[in-house]
Amino acid sequence: MAELFAAVLDTHADGAALVETGRTLTFGRWWEESGRVASGLAELGAGPGDVVALHLPSGFDFACCHLGALRLGAVVSGVNPRLGRTEVGHILGRARPAVLITGTPEAVPFDGTARTPAELAGPPGAVPSVEGVRAVPCDAPAVIVWTTGTTGLPKGAWFDHRALRFIAENLGPLSAPYDRKLMPVPFAHAGYLTRIYDQLIHRSALVLTPPVWTAEAMLDVLVRERVTVGQGVPAQWEKLIRLDRLADADLSRLRLVATGASRVPASLVTAMRERLGCPVVVRYASTELPLAFGTGVGDPPEIVATTVGRPLAGVEAEIRSPAGEPVAPGTTGRVALRSPGAMRGYWHDPGRTARTLSPDGWITTNDLGSLDAAGNLTVVGRADDVYIRGGYNIHPAEVEAALLAHPGVARAAVVGTPAPVIGEIGVAFVVPASASCPAADELRAWCGERIADYKRPDVVVFVDDLPVNATFKVDVTRLRALAARAVARAG
């Protein structure tokens, strides 16, 4: 990191590293401010191997504290401020930070040393006592990224410097020199915490979306900040391409758009390519494996819409049976992955680590999918999302794909909910594509023509939007609660 930053400061110190509304953090200023933070942390006794937890919103403070801690050889643990008090308390209890950096010390359940970013940096103009980067082994822990906790309390996937460097060197078309990348995810997410080497190697700028996301604000940022790589979940792009003023927007600098985290309809891929005027790629990753699968720039819309592409550089993939044996192409099973960029384990959680990560580096995910002859992965759902209706296993993703093929459906999510006699039934939450919404019976009949009769959703609930969690993924836990209520109301 020291060598990379020295090269950047030598030729690109005035270049943008982070862009927020109305202000820019240059690489030179980032280095200077992080040195002041590092000095404040050092005065508190923080050093190599110590955990520094950042309970901060995305922005300049987070970036400077992140780099400041890494310069001391410390381990950065991001804590999304949108999480609840119980989740935050669990993360801090597991991470055991030497120092907590937060803007709201009084609101965080932590009895140890806590400081605000301003307290660490000291008065304006203070000369930092830390000038360089403390050398640490390449296999030393660098960051801890916490899962979103949708199926339980968060788990802390930790990565060493070697993994972060590998990720940076194998992002493919997502990274090019001097990119300006739209950054829609919280900085506590793997999409930021594992990418500092990528930013230094490519000297790219991260462009933040406003704290309260709207399609109008996202378009303004894309145009005003001359973004070259757009990133966002399908729901965000679906809303953006509907804007009338998109037709007159100057997106000539946009060379690529990436999406993922949920199913992408073929119609959306086609519309994005036409309206945004650039290639669209899908990425499949997880907290534990920030670099996994991706579609290619030249892939046809049906590949982008129905698969998550092929393994990225250095990634090995297998589909495994319940017994753990590899299965033939086209067969559905559990997705297993191995990569030099994968997590090294769960922080202070050897039991979960042993259940997820094999001694030879394979991570068995909770996703179910199949590989075709070309190596493209089709994800059919998560093992814990499957519901059993009348003795038949049903994967929500298969039902969602049928719903999304209807021109009147913009977005859809399906969950199972308990029901007498039959065990479980499927409840579909549908966001209509227009004011003229299709009837529930029409959608059920539509699905019946495309998938087995027993897979048709039993109940269809029309909603204005799908609930999302702190990282903008569909909140399945919330949907299950809403599904139970909908069935109870229906009698």
pLDDT tens digits along 134-143: 999 999 999 9
198-232 pLDDT, tens digit per residue, is 999 999 999 998 888 889 999 999 999 999 999 98
pLDDT above 60 (res 151) = no
287-305 pLDDT, tens digit per residue, is 999 999 999 998 888 888 7
The candidate with the shortest Cα–Cα distance to 174, out of 190, 150, 156, 198, is 198
The candidate with the shortest Cα–Cα distance to 234, out of 413, 398, 411, 467, is 411
Are 416 and 345 in contact, with CB atoms under 8 Å apart? no
b/e per residue, 37-49, with b = 16+ CB within 10 A? bbbbbbeeebeee
The residue assigned the tokens 């309206």 is 275
pLDDT above 70 (res 316) = yes
Under the banding of pLDDT at 50, 70 and 90, the label for residue 383 is confident
Across 60-85, average pLDDT = 95
C-alpha R_g of the chain:
23
The upper half-sphere exposure of residue 349, i.e. CA atoms within 13 Å in the direction of its Cβ, equals 24
Phi, psi at residue 96, to the nearest 5°?
A: 50, 60
At 198 the pLDDT is 96
Residue type, 307: T
The candidate with the shortest Cα–Cα distance to 166, out of 7, 26, 287, 314, is 314
Enumerate residues 6+ apart whose C-beta is below 8 A from 248. none
Alpha-carbon span 194 to 143, nearest angstrom: 7
Under the banding of pLDDT at 50, 70 and 90, the label for residue 128 is confident
Q: Which residue has the higher pLDDT, 199 or 186?
A: 199
Strands 423-432 and 459-462 come out as parallel
Are 411 and 327 in contact, with CB atoms under 8 Å apart? no
Across 147-174, average pLDDT = 88
Across 153-160, average pLDDT = 93
At 263 the pLDDT is 66
Set out the domains of the chain in order of their start, with CATH numbers.
205-381 (3.40.50.12780), 386-490 (3.30.300.30)
At 150 the pLDDT is 52
At 382 the pLDDT is 78
Are 204 and 178 in contact, with CB atoms under 8 Å apart? yes
At 152 the pLDDT is 64
Percent of all residues in the chain with a pLDDT value above 70, rounded to a whole number: 98
Enumerate residues 6+ apart whose C-beta is below 8 A from 42. 72, 129, 130
At 471 the pLDDT is 63
Pick from 118-122, 162-166, 181-185 the range whose average pLDDT is largest.
162-166
238-297 pLDDT, tens digit per residue, is 889 989 999 999 999 999 999 876 667 777 888 899 999 999 999 988 899 999 999 999
Alpha-carbon span 473 to 259, nearest angstrom: 12
- CA 23, 29, 31, 35: dihedral to nearest 10 degrees? -100
Pick from 104-108, 142-146, 271-275 the range whose average pLDDT is largest.
142-146
Across 82-86, average pLDDT = 86
Under the banding of pLDDT at 50, 70 and 90, the label for residue 470 is low
Contacts by 380-383, CB closer than 8 A, 24 or more apart: 380/332, 383/334
Give the pair of three-digit tokens for residue 27: 């690489």
Alpha-carbon span 177 to 284, nearest angstrom: 23
Across 389-408, average pLDDT = 87
Alpha-carbon span 304 to 266, nearest angstrom: 7
Would you mind telling me the total number of residues written for the chain in this entry? 491
Pick from 75-84, 92-101, 380-389, 470-479 the range whose average pLDDT is largest.
92-101
pLDDT above 70 (res 344) = yes
Among 201-205, 368-372, 395-399, which is the least confidently predicted range?
395-399
